[in-house]
């Protein structure tokens, strides 16, 4: 590989105010087969068109083989593009279609003919030269489209949902052909699809997009086994998401602590985490003592679906068996169900029917690194709590994160009972004198506190500011988690005191900004823009928020006392503010993505 | 009992009824009057017929009528395409208004458009005066006739092309562009062949309308025998002299000539369609 074939740097594309592609940076190696995977509307096709040059970008750079092509017309980029609907020229024969690119370049007839024959052999369509597209089947037409896109020896082959219009069998055949052609030519290829099976079958690496952002990229098996985000965990294959507590003793699901052995290492802070349980990693047994793996709960079989090689079961967890909160991906209900699949072999060992009670064990689990595991609304009354829960910003965040919003009724959240711990993010209404309240919640273990004004608009921009560099790590982690679930731009705001005669501290300030940018990129795959301002932090932030009202502020603090200097900002804020505090017991310098690694092998 | 081979069983009922109506209306409104025209012309002596239809004045009028109509339809092919393209492909403030304007020549009594055109293109009109400075006369020449016929045919061309252009897939143009084709190449090799059938249909309609046009032309033409006299006007002149047979003879010639032109265009059309659709379906 070595040389980068396609390099995207902070590519952003907006349509009528909406950000369709949001700060995507990506390097694709020479000869690599890269698959962009995402649901429809995630911006993957727009990104592909931007690489092809058919769509301009509003921000960022695109380089092909080290050549900056950001402002180069599509016809000069030397790419081949294959469309979902083939886009063959219907009034031309197969031969004319394939030779189109060569004719444009005034290649001699004999040479054109030789190249055409070669390409037709490559896509297994020899002898079809004189047919018209209408005389070919869908699969054959797409083969012609592939041959046509390769005629001019492009440096990059781009495929936009090329199998979308084909039926399953033809699809598989064509998939094999394309993989073969790609290997034979060693051409760098980017394929866009919403079909994860297709992505697994073809990709050297997969990049997963949602809401215009490139969420994660990696080898298919890596992404499947160790997703970093809820979205990827549930989009790539089926997954049960559960809330659990991580402590020095291991992972525990609710009341009856289910301890998971953990390799010796740094102490882990007591916190709420999101667990990914793949349906095939759950073991079922008639009773707890028959399990060969760590027991997590008991339950009742509710539904059994036979689907060929695998059996799909839905098991309802027994009430209290585990206070584990199962986050259901499809209907968002709080019903504690788990999806489980079993092989034929397992079915024979323990035949099950609906209504039967079973013990559940887990072979392997994965801890997501997300710091925003769940939301807890703190309010004085039922009505106020409901109003907060119904705030569109919070409701859409929770839905997209596939997590719950719990409610705690406390007359004074700030004072509350310091013994009742609080996990995930706390949510409170913007009221006068918020600083105390925020301090109380952070002291009780909240990872972050979200202050919501009434009818907060959906933010177009997330401003990130940390009091100092020690607060940066947690702040960026929370910001990244937040930004993965909304289509807003990220701006990292650095503020230097104004009494610094412009200049002396400037280089330090700039360096801090660049550090923050590269940390966000390296650890979270998040691209942020940076701004440097001068003055007092609280008033500069207020000014900046006033400039662009559709913003959300992520404020990172290192110690609870830092809140005092921001008291004015937290005085009935008109903007949503998310206060993040660097955890008292840091994660001992381990990269957030890797937190769960030691916990994975349980059996 | 062997059934007619035209009568194939169909899921759609009412074939007999609709065919009956079609035959009746076509006969009553098109075939019978045309037959009457031919009968009338046929009742002349052959020598008389030839004399009337080959008189220098008649020949001059054919040249003007068919020449100007073909020219006008050709002009419409170019500008009608540009107008239709603009209306379909671009979003601009007064688009709806411009779109509505296209239909105006349909709705105006043709005499009104004739008078309007004459006042604009006469030697002292808004536009005509500048051409007059350059020594070009528009009104009362064949140029004026062509302009009138272009105006009359334009909506036919635009309305025929609009749906065809909106059906040209952007993907085709995008594909051609990624393959290295420039804008003009894409237009010539991809867009035009795709809209060719509609272009030909529009041409046919615009041409047919122009050949039969009377009202708008007579005002701007000046009607100088041999020079700016169109065949329909010559027919009216014959009628005013109560020479019904002479009028019918000229009418018959127009009928046959128009039919030949339209048939030719339709054959080209069918050939093109067969080529694109392929023989498989």
Query: What's the rounded mean pLDDT across residues B129-142?
Result: 86
What is the reported pTM? 0.78
Query: What are B195-229's pLDDT values in tens digits?
Result: 888 898 899 999 988 988 888 888 888 888 888 88
Report pLDDT for A332.
42
To the nearest whole angstrom, how far is the Cα of A217 from the nearest Cα of chain B?
Answer: 27
B44 closest CA partner among B257, B236, B244:
B244
Q: How far apart are CA A551 and CA A491, in angstroms?
A: 10
End-to-end C-alpha distance for chain B, whole angstroms: 32
Q: What is the mean pLDDT of chain A?
A: 83
Q: How far apart are CA A332 and CA A396, in angstroms?
A: 12
Task: Say if residue A168's pLDDT is above 80.
Answer: yes
Q: What is the mean pLDDT of chain B?
A: 86
Q: How many of the other CB atoms lie within 10 Å of CB of A460? A: 17
To the nearest whole angstrom, how far is the Cα of B11 from the nearest Cα of chain A?
Answer: 27
Query: What are A104-130's pLDDT values in tens digits?
Result: 999 999 999 999 999 999 999 998 999
Q: How far apart are CA A480 and CA A462, in angstroms?
A: 10
Q: Which residue has the higher pLDDT, A244 or A26?
A: A26
Task: Find the residue in B nearest to A147 (Cα).
Answer: B179
Mutate to test the interface with B, among A50, A104, A140, A147 (most CBs of B within 10 A): A104
Query: What are A25-45's pLDDT values in tens digits?
Result: 899 999 999 999 999 989 999
A592 closest CA partner among A426, A476, A438, A462:
A476
Task: Say if residue A174's pLDDT is above 80.
Answer: yes
Task: Say if residue A601's pLDDT is above 60.
Answer: no
Beta-sheet pairing, A294-307 with A310-317: antiparallel
Per the structure block, which two tokens stand in for A499? 């009494």
Write the ipTM.
Answer: 0.73
Share of chain A above pLDDT 90, in %: 32
Report pLDDT for A121.
92
Report pLDDT for A593.
32
Name residues whose C-beta falls within 8 Å of residue B3's C-beta, 6 or more positions apart in sequence.
Answer: none
Three-state DSSP state, A227: coil
Q: How many helices (H) and strands (E) does chain B have?
A: 15, 0
Report pLDDT for A566.
85
Q: Please provide residue A35's backbone torsions phi and psi, each rounded to the nearest 5 degrees.
A: -115, 125
pLDDT grade for A153, boundaries at 50, 70 and 90: very high
Name residues whose C-beta falls within 8 Å of residue A530's C-beta, 6 or more positions apart in sequence.
Answer: A491, A492, A493, A494, A513, A514, A516, A517
Q: How far apart are CA A154 and CA A70, in angstroms?
A: 17
Report pLDDT for A592.
35
Report pLDDT for B9.
61
Q: How many of the other CB atoms lie within 10 Å of CB of A410? A: 15
Task: Find the residue in A nearest to B279 (Cα).
Answer: A135
Task: Say if residue A583's pLDDT is above 50.
Answer: yes
pLDDT grade for A249, boundaries at 50, 70 and 90: low
Task: Say if residue A416's pLDDT is above 70.
Answer: no
B chain contacts of residue A151, beta-carbon cutoff 8 Å: 179
Query: What's the rounded mean pLDDT across residues A85-107?
Result: 92
Q: Which residue has the higher pLDDT, A423 or B94?
A: B94
B169 closest CA partner among A552, A209, A471, A84:
A84
B259 closest CA partner among B198, B207, B182:
B207
Name residues whose C-beta falls within 8 Å of residue A251's C-beta, 6 or more positions apart in sequence.
Answer: A244, A245, A258, A259, A260, A273, A275, A365, A367, A599
Q: How far apart are CA A145 and CA B178, in angstroms?
A: 12
Per the structure block, which two tokens stand in for B31? 């075939």
B chain contacts of residue A76, beta-carbon cutoff 8 Å: 180
Residues of A with CB under 8 A from a CB of B: 49, 52-54, 73-77, 79-81, 83, 85, 87, 89-91, 100-101, 104-105, 131-135, 145, 148-149, 151-152
pLDDT grade for A325, boundaries at 50, 70 and 90: very low
Query: Which segments of A362-471 does DSSP mark as H helices, in order?
Result: 382-389, 392-401, 434-443
Task: Say if residue A269's pLDDT is above 80.
Answer: no
Task: Say if residue B281's pLDDT is above 50.
Answer: no
A37 closest CA partner among A215, A173, A174:
A215
End-to-end C-alpha distance for chain A, whole angstroms: 37
Q: How far apart are CA A315 and CA A301, in angstroms?
A: 4
Please list, residue by residue across A348-376, b when 16 or more beta carbons sit within 10 angstroms of its beta carbon and e when fewer do: eeeebeeebebbbbbbbbbbbbbbbbbbb
């Amino acid at each position: 590989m070595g040389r980068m074939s396609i390099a995207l740097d902070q590519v952003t594309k907006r349509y009528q105010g909406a950000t369709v592609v949001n700060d995507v940076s990506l390097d694709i190696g020479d000869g690599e087969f890269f698959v962009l995977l995402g649901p429809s509307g995630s911006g993957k096709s727009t990104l592909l068109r931007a690489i092809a040059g058919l769509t301009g970008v509003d921000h960022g750079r695109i380089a092909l083989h080290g050549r900056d092509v950001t402002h180069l017309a599509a016809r000069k980029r030397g790419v081949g593009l294959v469309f979902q609907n083939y886009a063959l020229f219907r009034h031309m024969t197969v031969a004319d279609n394939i030779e189109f690119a060569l004719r444009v370049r005034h290649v001699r007839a004999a040479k054109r003919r030789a190249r055409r024959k070669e390409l037709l052999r490559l896509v297994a369509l020899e002898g079809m030269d004189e047919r018209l597209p209408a005389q070919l089947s869908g699969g054959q037409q797409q083969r012609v489209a592939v041959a046509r896109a390769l005629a001019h020896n492009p440096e990059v082959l781009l495929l936009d949902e090329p199998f979308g219009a084909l039926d399953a069998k033809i699809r598989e055949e064509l998939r094999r052909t394309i993989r073969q052609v790609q290997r034979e030519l060693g051409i760098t290829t980017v394929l866009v699809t919403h079909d994860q099976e297709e992505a697994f079958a073809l990709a050297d690496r997969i990049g997963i997009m949602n809401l215009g952002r490139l969420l994660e990229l990696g080898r298919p098996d890596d992404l499947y086994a160790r997703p970093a985000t809820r979205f990827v965990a549930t989009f790539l294959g089926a997954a049960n998401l559960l809330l659990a507590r991580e402590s020095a003793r291991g992972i525990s699901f609710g009341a009856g602590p289910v301890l998971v052995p953990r390799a010796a290492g740094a102490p882990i802070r007591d916190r709420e985490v999101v667990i990914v349980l793949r349906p095939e990693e759950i073991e079922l047994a008639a009773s707890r003592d028959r399990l060969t793996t760590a027991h997590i709960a008991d339950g009742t079989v509710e539904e059994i679906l036979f689907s060929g090689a695998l059996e799909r079961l839905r098991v309802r967890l027994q009430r209290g068996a585990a206070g584990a909160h199962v986050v259901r991906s499809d209907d968002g209900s709080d019903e504690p169900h788990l999806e489980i699949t079993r092989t034929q072999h397992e079915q024979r060992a323990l035949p099950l029917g609906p209504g039967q009670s079973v013990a559940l064990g887990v072979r392997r689990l994965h801890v997501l690194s997300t710091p925003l595991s769940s939301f807890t609304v703190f309010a004085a009354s039922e009505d106020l709590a409901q109003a907060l829960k119904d705030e569109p910003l919070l409701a859409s965040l929770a839905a997209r994160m596939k997590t719950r919003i719990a409610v705690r009724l406390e007359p004074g959240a700030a004072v509350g009972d310091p013994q009742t711990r609080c996990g995930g993010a706390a949510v409170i209404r913007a009221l006068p004198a918020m600083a105390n309240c925020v301090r109380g919640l952070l002291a009780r273990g909240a990872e972050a506190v979200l202050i919501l004004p009434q009818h907060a608009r959906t933010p177009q921009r997330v401003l990130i500011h940390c009091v100092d560099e020690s607060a940066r790590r947690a702040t960026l982690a929370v910001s990244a988690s937040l930004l993965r679930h909304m289509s807003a731009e990220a701006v990292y705001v650095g503020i230097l005191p104004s009494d610094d005669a412009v200049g002396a501290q400037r280089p330090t300030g700039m360096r801090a900004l660049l550090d923050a940018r590269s940390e966000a990129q390296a650890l979270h795959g998040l691209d942020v823009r940076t701004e440097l301002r001068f003055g007092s932090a609280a008033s500069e932030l207020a000014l900046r928020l006033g400039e662009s009202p559709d913003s959300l502020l992520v404020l990172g603090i290192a110690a609870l006392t830092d809140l005092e200097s921001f008291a004015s900002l937290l005085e009935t804020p008109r903007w949503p503010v998310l206060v993040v505090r660097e955890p008292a017991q840091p994660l001992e310098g381990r990269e957030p993505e890797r937190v769960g690694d030691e916990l994975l092998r349980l059996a | 009992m062997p059934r007619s081979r035209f009568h194939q069983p169909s899921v759609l009922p009412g074939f007999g009824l609709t065919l009956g109506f079609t035959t009746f209306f076509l006969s009553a409104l098109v075939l019978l009057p045309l037959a009457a025209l031919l009968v009338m012309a046929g009742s002349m002596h052959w020598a008389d017929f030839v004399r009337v239809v080959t008189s220098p004045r008649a020949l001059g009028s054919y040249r003007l009528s068919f020449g100007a109509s073909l020219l006008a339809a050709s002009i419409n092919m170019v500008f009608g395409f540009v107008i239709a393209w603009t209306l379909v492909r671009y979003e601009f403030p007064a688009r709806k208004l411009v779109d509505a304007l296209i239909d105006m020549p349909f709705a105006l009594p043709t005499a009104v458009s004739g008078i309007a055109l004459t006042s604009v293109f006469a030697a002292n009109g808004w536009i005509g005066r500048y051409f007059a400075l350059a020594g070009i006369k528009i009104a009362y020449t064949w140029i004026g006739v062509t302009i009138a016929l272009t105006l009359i045919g334009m909506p036919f061309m635009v309305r025929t092309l609009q749906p065809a252009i909106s059906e040209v897939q952007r993907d085709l143009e995008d594909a051609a562009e990624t393959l290295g084709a420039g804008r003009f190449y894409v237009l010539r090799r991809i867009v035009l062949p795709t809209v060719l059938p509609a272009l030909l249909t529009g041409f046919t309609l615009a041409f047919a309308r122009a050949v039969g046009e009377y009202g708008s032309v007579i005002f701007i033409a000046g009607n100088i025998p041999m020079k700016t006299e169109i065949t329909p006007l010559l027919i009216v002149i014959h009628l005013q002299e109560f020479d019904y047979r002479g009028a019918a003879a000229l009418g018959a010639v127009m009928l046959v000539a128009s039919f030949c032109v339209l048939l030719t265009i339709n054959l080209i059309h069918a050939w093109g369609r067969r080529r694109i659709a392929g023989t498989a379906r």
